[in-house]
Structure 1
Amino acid sequence: MLQQAGVIRYTRGRISVLDVDALTDAACDCYDVVQAEYRHLNAAPEH
């Protein structure tokens, strides 16, 4: 489905994202939650 839509390409175990915006739109709402947590965990410590 995603490959046919031109969003990703996969071959020999390698996945390439061709259209990040379309992939984000196709993802569930939990994508935003995961991104926010990732940014929180990787934020520079405040002094």
Structure 2
Amino acid sequence: MYTLYDVLTRDFRNGTDKIIWLLVVIFLPLLGTILWFLVGRSSSFK
């Protein structure tokens, strides 16, 4: 749940990036969360 909140509250360079990350986290919960914290957080703006 925290990962979804984190993705939703971050500002992204591109609007489609947020949608893609949301889909990854929803459909691949464990892998999506790991990928978000390793790759996604550094690629978003905030």
TM-score range, shorter chain: 0.3 to 0.5
Structure with more of its chain in helix, by fraction? 2
Question: Considering only CA atoms, is the larger Rg found in Structure 1 or Structure 2?
Answer: 1
TM-score using structure 2 length? 0.33
The TM-score, its normalising length taken from structure 1, stands at 0.33
